[in-house]
Structure 1
Amino acid sequence: MEKNLKSRATINRMQQKGLELFYQKGYYTTSLDDILKALQLSKGAFYYHFQSKEDFMVSIVQHLLFRKVYSMLIEPIEGKEDPFRNIETCLENALEIAEHNPMDFGFVLGNFMNEFNGKNENVSRYLNDICKAWEVSLVTALQKGKSDGYLERHHDSEGIATFVISSYFGVRSLMVGGNPRMLRYQYMQQLRCYFKSMALKSTF
């Protein structure tokens, strides 16, 4: 039992450091030697837990990255009323965290999706699954909002979800090289206008 706990703690430490390195430097520009040096591990110790660098990345995506996206963008809107208000609050909170992060390199999921697109189908599939889970949560919240009388049934929930996801990806990229405070403010103002144009109940 104690051995299993130590092994899990070691794997978690490796994944945390791996995510940090891949986020800051990119997967393809981070070598295995960079990982081993940061973790102070031997190659043997690394290969005891993971078959390859790609296997290591997949484990990071499946466990750490999914949990991060879930806790930040999915869980806060699950089962709640007033989808527009909750999606707005959720995104603003996420943007505010990014704004005050001195080591912000963009939206981690979006960064990885761009980096692996067309280069690694296996990792891309896991990343796309996370994005799909976010999309499904948005669509579910919007569909519930229709039943609860927050927006009319003729509105395209899938289309709204696509707009929210793609616009969030975009503003997070702009925040890296721009004025994050101003961009957050501008983005949220326009998002509120967009939501307000479809809302049946005035909650803005």
Structure 2
Amino acid sequence: MDKNLKRMATMHRMQVTGLELFYEQGYYNTSVDDILKSLELSKGAFYYHFQSKEDFFISIIQNLIVQKVYGTLIEPIEGKENPLTVIEKCLDNSLQTAENNEMDYGFVVHNFLTEFNGRNETISRYLRDILKIWEVNLITLLQKGKTDGYVIRHVNSEAAASFIISSYMGIRTLMVEGNPRILRYNYISQLRSYLNTMVQRELA
């Protein structure tokens, strides 16, 4: 195998394992030694690829978390016709995935934002940028929905996007300890009612 490809494969394996441990235990409760033990690697191997634990985590954000959020919450709604049905379906699919995940500890971006708040502004900024990308995509979709006649004109797209994001993060947190199936059903029912208030009357 080409040296560069081998290095990339090793880094990816380290990032995947690191994310699993950070997600389950938290960043500050997971040491570099914990990661190396899981990977059966030496400390020298870790510092050959990454300058520090923080540098390692930032690489995880850039290479895994961004991709995960994009694939789950952004790509499914990009360029679609009716934003209201698309948003509902996208969030329901995401919640169903979480519901069937036995190792679910909540929405990864929200978990880390809470953990790093007031403790590491550099990492917090990377995480907030992910939410900003999601927010911009929701706003763009809703604005297009107005133009295309799906969404009533007076809807505040920015406020709606903020509500959708914050409510999703909230229900993901509740699903960790509560009954995920019932919580998902109740949340989607209420989300549908909320989205229906935005429907153009001719389309309702």
TM-score range, shorter chain: over 0.9
CA, structure 1 residues 69+32, in 2 after alignment: closer, same or farther (shift >3 Å)? same
Question: What's the TM-score, normalizing by structure 1?
Answer: 0.98
Partner of 2:87: 87
Gaps of 5+ in 2: none
Runs of 4+ in 1 over 4 A off after TM superposition: 201-204
* Contact 1:149-1:201 at 8 Å conserved across structures: no
Cα distance, 1:203 vs. partner? 6.8
Counterpart-to-counterpart distance in 2, 1:64 and 1:77: 20
Cα distance, 1:42 vs. partner? 0.5
1:10-29 deviation line (CA, Å, top 9, x unaligned): 11100000000000000000
Cα distance, 1:151 vs. partner? 0.9
Question: What's the TM-score, normalizing by structure 2?
Answer: 0.98
Does the alignment pair 1:151 with 2:154? no
Counterpart-to-counterpart distance in 2, 1:115 and 1:146: 37
CA, structure 1 residues 202+72, in 2 after alignment: closer, same or farther (shift >3 Å)? farther
CA, structure 1 residues 41+203, in 2 after alignment: closer, same or farther (shift >3 Å)? farther
- Of stretches 149-158 and 65-74 in structure 1, the one that deviates more from structure 2 is 149-158
CA, structure 1 residues 156+2, in 2 after alignment: closer, same or farther (shift >3 Å)? same
Does the alignment pair 1:165 with 2:172? no
Partner of 1:187: 187
Counterpart-to-counterpart distance in 2, 1:156 and 1:116: 30
3-state SS of the aligned residue for 2:35?
helix
Partner of 1:108: 108
Does the alignment pair 1:18 with 2:26? no
3-state SS of the aligned residue for 1:13?
helix
Cα distance, 1:201 vs. partner? 5.9
Q: Give the alignment's Cα RMSD to 1 decimal.
A: 1.2
- Of stretches 45-54 and 193-202 in structure 1, the one that deviates more from structure 2 is 193-202
* Contact 1:85-1:203 at 8 Å conserved across structures: no
Gaps of 5+ in 1: none
What is the aligned-residue identity percentage? 64
Partner of 2:76: 76
* Contact 1:150-1:201 at 8 Å conserved across structures: no
3-state SS of the aligned residue for 1:114?
helix
CA, structure 1 residues 9+184, in 2 after alignment: closer, same or farther (shift >3 Å)? same
Partner of 2:42: 42
Equivalent position amino acid for 2:23 in 1: Y
Partner of 2:2: 2
Cα distance, 1:154 vs. partner? 1.4
3-state SS of the aligned residue for 1:95?
helix
Cα distance, 1:197 vs. partner? 1.1
* Contact 1:77-1:87 at 8 Å conserved across structures: yes
CA, structure 1 residues 189+36, in 2 after alignment: closer, same or farther (shift >3 Å)? same
Partner of 2:124: 124
* Contact 2:150-2:203 at 8 Å conserved across structures: no
Equivalent position amino acid for 1:31 in 2: S
Equivalent position amino acid for 2:163 in 1: F
Equivalent position amino acid for 1:73 in 2: L
Does the alignment pair 1:141 with 2:141? yes
Partner of 2:97: 97
